[in-house]
């Protein structure tokens, strides 16, 4: 029999609608503007770890509204947020669906610490209050794997990743990603903010010089071992972004992945002046699943990938 019915209950659909109202009220009280940007665009992301859906027309389904939201801010928009579908190819499982709903927002004049406070406020509204723990990526990987992620060689990172079960280590970033994910699942705390990522994990975040190391000014919120939020003190230097995109495409070439054209709209908007800001993306389906104590996203999504 064809499974035509929704995978989630009516009760969970009603709860989803209620939470969406809570989120919109949260941002309304803070005078953060809701916006909508295009799902389909000429350009995708260059990051080798993210696979975009490409249409027959050559356009890409967006993996995040980030690029277009930054263009709005460069054009003079105030602090903004968006709730929208996003798409990533090959991501299926209990905590993954190729199409998912993302909550993303950007705050003018914020740094990562201020944004962490705001993320905490919103999560507590949805899940209820709870203590938060804080650790750096360095502390996390040193404790779990005796690895100095800032100083150890690529060979050492690859060796530790293989020991933990990653058979084909394709590069330092790949190995570090794998080890971070493994370590986060072992944390004994319910809610943890992870900070001070290695510079090769900076993506679109600024970097900062600390006492011993240069690190990415980036954070992740992990709840019950699941990544819920990924936030940056946003990079505003277009030349640096172009350099990072070049590195991404070199890695893609080495891995046999298709090259991704750099988004000229984003780069030009940054050259015209992206204001100082911090931004964060929240996996809304994951947050709803945790709020309802569900083991799978299917319990909070009307029609997951196997029913569309």
Residue 125's pLDDT is what? 97
Residue 302's pLDDT is what? 95
Q: Which residues of the chain have pLDDT under 70?
A: none
The CATH architecture of the domain made up of 10-129+232-307 is: 2-Layer Sandwich (3.30)
What angle (nearest 5°) sits at the alpha carbon of residue 126, between those of residues 138 and 29? 100
Residue 216's pLDDT is what? 96
Residue 188's pLDDT is what? 80
Residue 167's pLDDT is what? 83
Residue 284's pLDDT is what? 98
- Contact present, 20 and 65 (Cβ < 8 Å): no
Q: Which two structure tokens, joined as six digits, stand for 26? A: 């949260």
Q: Which two structure tokens, joined as six digits, stand for 25? A: 């009220």
User: Domain extents for the chain?
Assistant: 10-129+232-307
199-241 pLDDT, tens digit each: 989 999 999 998 888 999 999 999 999 999 999 999 999 999 9
Residue 77's pLDDT is what? 98
* Closest by CA position to 182, among listed 217, 207, 157: 157
Residue 168's pLDDT is what? 82
Tally the residues of the chain.
308
Residue 283's pLDDT is what? 98
- Contact present, 74 and 119 (Cβ < 8 Å): no
Residue 1's pLDDT is what? 85
CA distances from 232 to 35, 107, 258, 296 (A): 20, 11, 26, 27
Q: What is the three-state SS of the chain? A: CCCCCCCCCHHHHHHHHHHHHHHHHHHHHCCCEECCCCCEECCCCCCCCCCCCECCCCCEECCCCHHHHHHHHHCCCCCEEEEEEEECCCCCECCECCEEEEEEEEEECCCHHHHHHHHHHHHHHHHCCCCCEEEEHHHHHHHHHCCCCCCCCHHHHHHHHHHCCCCCCCCHHHHHHHHHHHHHHCCCCCEEEEEEEEHHHCCCECEEECCCCEEEEEEEEEECCEEEEEEEEECCCHHHHHHHHHHHHHHHHHHCCCCCCCCHHHHHHHHHHCCCEEEEEEEHHHHHHHHCCCCCHHHCCCCCHHHC
Is-above-0.85 flag for pTM?
yes
β-sheet bridge partners, residue 104:
82, 281
């Amino acid at each position: 029999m064809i499974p035509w019915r929704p995978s989630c209950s009516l009760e969970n659909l009603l709860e989803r609608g209620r939470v969406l109202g809570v989120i919109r009220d949260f941002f309304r009280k803070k005078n953060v503007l809701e916006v909508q940007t295009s799902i389909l665009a000429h350009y995708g992301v260059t990051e080798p770890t993210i696979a975009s859906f490409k249409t027959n027309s050559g356009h890409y389904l967006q993996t995040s509204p980030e690029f277009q939201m930054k263009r709005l801010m460069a054009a003079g928009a105030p602090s903004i947020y968006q709730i929208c579908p996003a798409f990533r190819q090959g991501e299926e499982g209990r905590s993954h669906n190729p199409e998912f709903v993302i909550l993303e927002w950007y705050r003018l004049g914020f740094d990562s610490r201020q944004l962490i406070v705001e993320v905490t406020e919103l999560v507590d509204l949805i899940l209820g209050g709870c203590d938060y723990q804080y650790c750096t990526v360095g502390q996390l990987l040193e404790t779990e794997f005796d690895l100095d992620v800032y100083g150890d060689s690529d060979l050492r990172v690859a060796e530790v990743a293989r020991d933990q079960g990653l058979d084909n280590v394709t590069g330092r970033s790949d190995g570090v990603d794998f080890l971070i994910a493994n370590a986060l699942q072992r944390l004994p705390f319910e809610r943890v903010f992870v900070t001070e990522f290695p510079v090769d994990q900076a993506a679109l975040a600024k970097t900062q010089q600390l006492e011993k190391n240069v690190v990415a000014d980036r954070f992740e919120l992990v709840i019950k071992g699941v990544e819920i939020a990924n936030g940056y003190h946003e990079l505003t230097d277009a030349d640096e972004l172009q350099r990072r995109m070049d590195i991404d495409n070199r890695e893609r070439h080495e891995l046999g992945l298709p090259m991704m054209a750099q988004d000229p709209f984003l780069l030009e908007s940054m050259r015209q002046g992206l204001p100082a800001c911090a931004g964060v993306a929240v996996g809304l389906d994951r947050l709803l699943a945790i709020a309802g104590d569900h083991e799978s996203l299917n319990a909070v999504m009307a029609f997951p990938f196997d029913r569309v």
